[in-house]
Amino acid sequence: MPFTFQAPGKVVFGRDTARQLPALVAAVGSAPLVVTGAKASRHQALLTALRQAGLTVTTYAVAGEPTVEAATDGAHLARAAGCDAVIGLGGGAALDTAKAVAALATNTSDAFDYLEVVGAGKPLTEPPLPVVAVPTTAGTGAEATANAVLSVPGRRVKVSLRSPLMLPRLALVDPLLSASMPPTVTAATGLDALTQLLEAFVSNQANPMTDALCREGLGRAARALPAAYADGTNLAAREDMALASLLGGLALANAKLGAVHGFAAPLGGLLAAPHGQICASLLPFVTAANIRALRSRDPGSPSLSAYAAAATLCTGRPQASPEDGAAWLDTLCRQLAAPSLTALGLTAADIPQVVANAAKASSMRGNPVALTPGELADILTGALG
Ligand SMILES: NC(=O)c1ccc[n+]([C@@H]2O[C@H](COP(=O)([O-])OP(=O)(O)OC[C@H]3O[C@@H](n4cnc5c(N)ncnc54)[C@H](O)[C@@H]3O)[C@@H](O)[C@H]2O)c1
C-alpha cells in the first residue's frame, strides 16, 4: 500500500483563530494581495487588522465563479502592486482564485499553458507566491488542496490548474467565519463536503491516511450538517462542518474524487449554478449507480466495504448496507432542499455532451468502478428529477 500524502505547510483550526491572521501572515510576507468574494465589506475587520499590523494590503474582489481571466488579471495586479503573498479569504471561489493568482504571478506564460484538459497542462516552473487560505464556507476544503478550479467561459467547462506547488503555505480555518452562511449556502457547501468525503473514501486511490480522515469527517458531517442547516447559530455544528470540510480537502488532494465531481466539471461550465448544488443533485444517483455496478461487476471490491462503512457512519446503524447509505443520502438531500438538475437548468438534450465531457474529467479516474456511457446517462436522467 505505498502512498504519498501532501498537505498545506501548516493548519491552524479553531474558533476565533482569525485573530491570529495578521501575525501569521507577517511570518509569510509583508505585502499580501487579499482575494475576496464580491462582498469584501464582510471582511472589513480582518482587513483593518492586517493593515494595523503594518502589512501593505492590496485587495482584489471577485464575483461569482473563478475564471481564467480573473486569475490572470489578479496575477497582473499582484505583480504591479509588488505583492509577496496572497491571502484567499472567502468561499471556495475566492480561495481558488487566490491559489491561481499566486501561481500565475510567478509563472508568467499564458494561463492555458498550465491548464488541464483545455490547455497544454505544462508543470509550473516557479514556486507560486505563498498562499494563506482562510475559508468562510464549510464545503470545498480548497484550503488543503493543490489545485484551483477555473471556469473557461468560452469553452463552457471548468478545469483545474494543478501543481503540488499550489498547496497553501497556511490554512487558517476559523468556524466562526462560516456562521453567517444562510441555509441555502450551508446546504450546498455542506453537501459538497459530504460528497468529497464519500468520494475520497470509496475512491480507487484511497489509502489508510485518507480513510482515517474520511471516517472522521463523514461522522461529523452526517451529524452536523442537518443541525447547521436548521440553526446557523449552532456553533458546535459549524465547527464540525468546518473540520469535515478541511478533512475532505486533505483527503481529496491525496485520494482523488469520483463521478459526482467528474460530472461537476462539465456541468459547472454549462450551468450558472453553485458547485455544491450540482454535486448534491447528483450524489444519491451516482452513489446508487456505483453500488449497483460494483455488485454486478466487482463484488469483492474494497469500495463496496467502504460504502458499507460510510453507511454505518452516516446512519449510526452498525449493520447498515451500502444501499442504506444511498437511501440516507437521498433523504438528506431532500431534507436540505437540494435542487434537481432540471431546476439548475439542465435538459435531456444536454445529456450526451455532458457524458462525453465528463469522461475526460480528471475526477472520473478516481471513481471506484468504470461506469459505461449508458450508466452515466442514466445518472443524469435520474438527477433531472
Ligand atoms: N480547489 C478545490 O479543491 C475545490 C474543491 C471543491 C470546490 N472548489 C470550487 O469552489 C467553488 C465553490 O466554493 P463554495 O462552495 O465555497 O462557494 P462560493 O465560494 O461560490 O460561495 C458561495 C456564496 O456564499 C457567499 N459566502 C461565502 N462565505 C460566506 C459567509 N461566511 N456568509 C455568507 N455568505 C458567504 C459567497 O460570497 C458566495 O455568494 C467552486 O468554484 C468550486 O469549483 C474547489
Residue 249 alpha carbon, nearest atom of ligand 1 = 3
Q: For the domain made up of 10-177, give the CATH fold.
A: Rossmann fold (3.40.50)
pLDDT in tens, 322-349: 999 999 999 999 999 999 999 999 999 9
Distances (CA, A) of 233 to 239, 255, 285: 11, 33, 31
Residue 361, pLDDT > 90, answer: no
Does residue 379's CB lie within 6 angstroms of at least one atom of ligand 1? Answer: no
Q: Nearest 5°: phi and psi at 171?
A: -110, 115
CA–CA gap between residue 237 and residue 220 (Å, rounded):
9
Share of the chain above pLDDT 90, in %: 93
- Element containing residue 210 per DSSP (H, E): helix 208-230
Domain spans of the chain, in order of start: 10-177, 181-384
CA–CA gap between residue 24 and residue 373 (Å, rounded):
48
C-alpha 120 – ligand 1 centre gap (Å): 27
Q: Which residue has the cell 503594518?
A: 54
Residue 313, pLDDT > 90, answer: yes
Distances (CA, A) of 1 to 206, 218, 294: 10, 23, 22
Top-confidence residue, 281 or 363: 281
CB 207 within 8 A of CB 356: no
Residue 1 binned pLDDT confidence (cut-offs 50, 70, 90) = confident
Residue 40, pLDDT > 80, answer: yes
pLDDT in tens, 94-135: 999 999 999 999 999 999 999 988 889 999 999 999 999 999
If one residue of 185, 225, 247 were mutated to test the ligand 1 pocket, choosing by the most ligand atoms within 8 A of its CB, it would be 185
Does residue 65's CB lie within 6 angstroms of at least one atom of ligand 1? Answer: yes
Does residue 149's CB lie within 6 angstroms of at least one atom of ligand 1? Answer: yes
Which CATH number is correct for 181-384, 3.30.360.10, 1.20.1090.10, 3.90.870.40, 3.40.50.720? 1.20.1090.10
Q: What is the pLDDT of residue 155?
A: 81
Residue 263, pLDDT > 80, answer: yes
Residue 157 binned pLDDT confidence (cut-offs 50, 70, 90) = confident
Q: Which residue has the cell 492590496?
A: 58
